[in-house]
A and B are shown apart, each in its own frame.
Chain A
Amino acid sequence: MADLTLATLAAQVFTGLVLGMILVLLAIGLSLIFGLMTVVNFAHGSLYMLGAYFGFFLVAYTKSFWLALVVAPMLVGVFGLLVERFLVRRLYGRSIDDPLLLTFGLSLVLVEAVRLVWGKIGLTLDPPPALAGVVNLGFTYFPLYRLFVIGVTVVVLVALLLFLEKTNVGLIIRAGSRDPVMVRALGFDLGRVWLLVFGIGTALAGLAGILAGPMRGVYAEMGVTIVIESFVVVVVGGMGSLPGAIVAGLVIGQVVSLTTLFAPKFAEIMVFIVMALVLLVRPSGLFGEAGLME
């Protein structure tokens, strides 16, 4: 630690940014789904994993990473639509815990199905040659692909926020996150909106997966721990709050990255400590609303 320079610190902050972006993509999906439907989607990690796997096969068939980047999340989104329509929707009106359990079972099934179909050995997904190098940021050399991840996530977030702020559907979604009962009372057919939200949320998870694949490898269990981290992010940000998911994701990304630099042993537990501290100070997370999921 004596040789800690501003350069090392800056490099670490950038690394935390990349990690934060992946968490944000996952957390937004979880938060959207939870905010509107009060569904705790435990299968989110498996959908992230599917995104990476679909990405691998699309790249293999089409030889184009860019195409895969667009199509893989869409495929995951379509899968998400099917899950909502045929599985989750049946649980409407029942206890809040039922979708939690259902998606938990689904995650078991998905991981094992992937192992069965695509083997127990993981796969290697490489970034496209155009993104394979390093860039001199001044204070350090940083992999170009990681900068790309930051860029893509920012673009997607902007698009999402525009969608939510500027379109009618977006308005219903936002209203439904705030007060689902009222929106229903006002007569909106939430069924279609749920489908859309589930589709978008899962597509975001798939995007996170294909983005993460080249950095971490593609294997069936890749979603297992990150789903817990995503939940922590959502809770810290506040269940159902999108700004919360973004802020919390970035914060947690930095927390993990800086803890890894200063006290590596604590890197994993630090997210839980941060969450506990946030919750003890702000009962519903940073931006959460009281009354949701209580």
Chain B
Amino acid sequence: MRALTGWIGGHPVLAFLVVFAVFPFLVPYKALATQVLIYGLFALGFNLLYGYTGLLSFGHAAYWGLGAYGTGIALAKLQVGSLWLALLAGPALAVVGGVVIGFLCLRRRGIYFAMLTLAFAQLLYFVGFHLADVTGGDDGLRGISVPPLVLPGVRIPLDTSLAFYYFAFALVALAVAGLKRILDSPFGAVLQAIRENSDRAVACGYDATRVKHLSFVFSALFAGLAGALDALRLNVVPIESLYWSTSGQVVIMTLLGGAGTFFGPFVGAATWLVLEDRLAVFTESWPLVVGAIFMAFVLFLPKGIWGTLLARLEGAAR
């Protein structure tokens, strides 16, 4: 078990590939696996900013939503026929959002930074709500049909649950590999230095604001990709994608799994979504149970599920 966790810790990308390649067959139904994958990516992006850079954002729904609406509008309103183009549009829009909002919010720190991110997300929600001709307003953006995947020489329709899962899996795997690359780079090291002590990092000569901003943008990119995939998965973009409840959800998933760990976000997303899915079948008052479990985790497993597991095993190894 220790060896396994150690191996997973040492080869996260490979571990991700192995686990998620068979994940659809481990859960009750395939659509749940896709949901875990996509929300896991969202949490992964959030975790880059929070767990690794130390910046708590209350407004991450903005980038998820921008990604979703970008791709959704491309397909539903602009009638873009190409899946790749549509898939590019969402994350691109999210990145723009990340650049602008990050620039404005990073002028402040701590809870003030967090509340500013919330304010901008709510602003986007307001805009999305009222620009009903473009976004569908509070009815949501409908009419998103997923074009088939076109690769050199082959055309793969994505209408079955399993086909879509593996399509999303491929993209998320790329994102995961990308994240590993970021974290392993010198940039990644500076990120974590900033999380530990921002002022000291500055004293060492790093431009903390620029680094934070870049981290913010990467985080927005991952969240945007996740949102775009979800638009394709649901064939709708609900207005709630931009609401603070979505921001709250990703915070919870990340913390449940273990912030600052590589797999924490996926573990958290899986736990939360599976609990929500299965518990609701048994009891109407499932928020009570989930809330209580959540409180228990915070009280007794502060590092989150995965974080605690890693820490226990590291501790035992010494």
Contacts and interface: CB of A to CB of B under 8 A. Distances in A.
Interface of A: 40, 87, 90-91, 94-95, 97-98, 101-102, 104-109, 111-113, 115-116, 228, 231-232, 235, 239, 265-266, 268-269, 272-273, 275-276, 279-280, 283-285, 292-294
Contact of B295 (A106, A111, A113, A293): A106
B294 interface: yes
6 contacts: A95-B302, A97-B255, A105-B295, A106-B295, A280-B104, A294-B112
Interface string B105-129: 0011111100110111011001000
Given A265-B130, A276-B116, 6 more contacts: A87-B295, A108-B294, A112-B285, A266-B126, A275-B115, A279-B108
Dominant secondary structure at the A interface: helix
Given A91-B299, A268-B126, A279-B115, A294 B285 contact: no
Nearest to B295: A105
B311 interface: no
A119 B255 CA distance: 31
Contacts of A268: 126
Return the 10 tightest CB-CB contacts between A and B, nearest first: A108-B291, A294-B110, A105-B294, A105-B295, A112-B288, A109-B291, A272-B119, A269-B126, A293-B111, A112-B287
Contacts of B119: 272-273, 275-276
A138 B118 CA distance: 41
Given A40-B111, A106-B291, A283-B108, A91 B116 contact: no
Contacts of A113: 288
Given A105-B291, A239-B111, A265-B130, A279 B116 contact: yes
Given A94-B302, A239-B111, A272 B123 contact: yes
B201 interface: no
Interface in B88-144: 104, 107-112, 115-116, 118-120, 122-123, 126, 130
Interface residues of B, number: 33
A232 B154 CA distance: 53
B285 A273 contact: no
Given A91-B298, A272-B123, A294 B292 contact: no
A79 to B, nearest CB: 15
Contacts of A269: 122-123, 126
Contacts of B110: 292-294
Contacts of A104: 248, 252, 294
B287 A108 contact: yes
B273 interface: no
A150 to B, nearest CB: 28
B208 to A, nearest CB: 13
Contacts of A111: 287
Contact of B294 (A90, A101, A283, A284): A101
Contact of A98 (B244, B291, B298): B298
Contacts of B112: 235, 239, 279, 283-285, 293-294
A97 B260 CA distance: 13
Given A87-B299, A279-B116, A235 B292 contact: no
A294 B244 CA distance: 22
Contacts of A275: 115-116, 119
A116 B299 CA distance: 24
B41 interface: no
Contacts of A112: 285, 287-288, 291
B290 interface: yes
Contacts of A265: 130
Contacts of B295: 87, 102, 105-106, 109
Interface in B279-318: 285, 287-288, 290-292, 294-295, 298-299, 302
Nearest to A290: B109
A108 B289 CA distance: 9
B74 interface: no
Interface string B215-255: 00000000000000000000000000000100010011001
B298 A105 contact: yes
A170 B77 CA distance: 61
